[in-house]
Every structure is written in structure tokens, then in C-alpha cells.
Amino acid sequence: MDWETDWGLRTRMVVVVVLLAALYAGFLGALTLYGVNLFGIVLGMGLFMAAQLFFSDRLALYSMGAHEVSEQEYPELHRKLTRLSQQADLPKPTVAVADTRVPNAFAAGRSKSNATVCVTQGLLRTLDDEELEGVLAHELAHVKNRDVAIMTIASFLSTIAFLVVRWGWLFAGGDERQGGGGAIVAIVASFVVWILSFLLIRALSRYREFAADRGGAAITGKPGALASALVTIDGRMDKVPDDDLRGQSEMNAFFVIPIRKGVIGKVFATHPSTEKRVERLQELEKEMETR
């Protein structure tokens, strides 16, 4: 099913990407000006980013304690993903299940042809068929939009900035005439870039969640089913034991509903609030009904 482009949302994503690019260009210029040895940092982080792209699905599954499942083990889950993948014009992804009570799902993989969709046992026990299809379609929209690759690339120089902040005295040029001033300026610049890029990347992540909601709703043609799933999952999070939540918190950026604890978790959230997502899905449902 085709859907119309949300130009407001797309414009906001483009603005964030442009701001990130300008920030990173200035950052590299500052590091070069103050004598930081960029070659080793960029080379090392480039290799790390490549490994992250190529092995992101395996790393994500490992961190969640998830495993690939066959059609014989989960025939209904495979059937749903096969049909939804056809509707989304995508190759069927690898199907995985995580044995955790946290009701959630995520997509991983560097490309459309190399993707994995993982759901938790908690999700399978919590949602009805239509709600589950809504969540699966949301994850397929992430695959279609290449969100894993985009967010990995967007965070590349932010990670370099963090390393310079932490290990700046090792990377900075040893110009004794400056009394170490070049290293200090580079570290301060890296800290500013790291904080600003941290906030921009999270804004980009939230916008991409809205886009995945819209795409998932278009795949199923049922925005209300995804909205209902989001409300159900969000409501169940408070009932999941804290030990389970802490064990999965590092996967927040991947989840369909993130784990949010405390004020800081909400301020720096990788996802929009459930209320805003549901409101937009309800508006999309009204648009579809009037066509």
C-alpha cells in the first residue's frame, strides 16, 4: 500500500542532518587546526563502524539473548512476516525471538536484504493478532528506511568526539610551545560537539520513529492497530520487574517502545512519547478514512 510523504517530518529530518553535517565539518576543522592526529582516530573508528554495520544484527541478538527461529517453531510469526514483507515490497527478514518478559520488538541489519526482526516472548503474550502485525510492520518500515545504517553513520563522528574528550591527551599533538593549549582546546571543542550531536542524533531518532509508525501503518492499512499496540506495550512496561528492565536498557534505540526511567531518560529519549505517536496515528487513520 502506498502512502503520501509527510513533508513536514521529512523537512525536520533534513534540517537535523544538515546541522549534524555542519557541526561535524567544524569539528574536524577544529581538530586539524589544533594538531589532533585525525588519521588514526578516523581509521580506527571507520573500522569499528564497518564492523557495527556488518555485525549489528548479531550483536543486537546477542545482547538480548535472542536466537533465530524456524517456521516449524513459530509458524504464525513467520506467516505474518512473510505476508507483511510482501506488502512492504521487502525480502523476508530473518525471524528471531528473545526469551524476556519485556514486551518489545526491534529490527537490525545493514540493508533490506540483510535484516532481522526480533520480538520478545513478552510481546507475543501481550498483543492480539492485529496489534502484533502493526508492530511487525513498524519494524519492517525501519528496514525499508535503512534506519540502522543511517543512525550508525550519523553517530560516527559523535563517537570520535567522545573518544577525543576521554583520551584527548593521547591523540593531541605534542606542541610544547603551546603548553598543551592545543590539546585543551581540542578536548573542549570535542566535548561541545559530542553534547550537541548527542541531542541532534536523538532528535533524528525520534523523527525516524514517527516515519516508521507512518510506514508501518501504511503497510497494514490499520494505523489504529499500531496505536493500540503502543498503548498496550507502554502500559505493560510498569509491570515488568526492574531487573528485566535494567537488563535490556542498552537496547532502547532499537525498541518499538523504549524503556524510560526517570527525568533524564525522558529528556534524552530516542523515541517520541507514546501519546504523540498515538495522536499522529489517529490523525493518519482519519486521513485514510476520508480517501
How many whole angstroms separate alpha carbon 31 and alpha carbon 184?
A: 11
Q: What is the DSSP letter of 180?
A: T
Distances (CA, A) of 62 to 44, 102, 116, 143: 23, 16, 13, 19
Active site residue 275: no
In the block, cell 536523538 appears at 202
Residues 6+ apart with CB under 8 A from 77: 69, 95, 97, 119, 124
Amino acid of residue 286: K
Specify which residues 97 forms β-bridges with: 67, 119
Residue indicated by cell numbers 493518519 = 284
The HSE-up count of residue 10 (CA atoms within 13 Å, CB side) is 7
For residue 75, give the amino acid letter. Answer: P
Catalytic residue among 139, 176, 283, 287: 139
Q: How far, in Å, CA of 255 to CA of 119, rounded?
A: 10
Question: Which of 245, 275, 286 has the alpha carbon at shortest distance from 103?
Answer: 245
CB 127, CB 103: distance < 8 Å: yes
Burial of 245 per CB tally in 10 Å (0-12, 13-18, 19+): middle
Please tell me what DSSP assigns to residue 91.
P
Q: Which residues are catalytic?
A: 139
